Amino acid sequence: MPYLGLIVAVLWIFCLIDVITADEGGIRHLPKTVWLLLVVFLPLAGSVAWLVAGRPVGGGIWGGPDAGRRPSATGFPEYDVRPGRAVATNSESDEEFLRRCRERAQQQRDAARRTRNPEQD
């Protein structure tokens, strides 16, 4: 048992660094500040609680399944070009589609105006 204090100290330092470097959006159950206070003031219990309940899934200083993934250039990954994603090949069909969308939008605007002001028909 002489190494129990050393093990607790190493666990405490690991969890302290892990809480500090964790992304605020991925932390579970409590805000980052509360987790930091728990780990600082309750070294063993706070560290174990952090590892079990607070640590981001696959996050922290070790990374996770998406640690090597490049962030989206646009901020919207669903709009990034990916294999298998449909890309326009015929500009005429695109123009026809856009024309129909504009017509339908105009019809919807007209219908909404008629609903709001029925006496102006």
Dump pLDDT digits (tens) for 68-80: 455 555 566 666 6
Considering the chain, what percentage of its residues have pLDDT values greater than 90?
15
Confidence at residue 107, expressed as pLDDT on a 0 to 100 scale: 96
83-112 mean pLDDT: 83
pTM flag (> 0.85): no
pLDDT at position 90: 74
Q: How far is CA 67 from CA 16, 71, 95, 108, in A?
A: 20, 10, 41, 45
109 vs 74 pLDDT, higher one: 109
Question: pLDDT tens digit string along 36-60?
Answer: 899 899 888 988 888 888 887 764 4
Q: Where exactly are the structural domains of the chain?
A: 4-62, 88-120
Answer whether 53's CB lies under 8 Å from 29's CB.
yes
Residues 6+ apart with CB under 8 A from 27: 35, 54, 55, 56
Three-class secondary structure of residue 91 per DSSP: helix
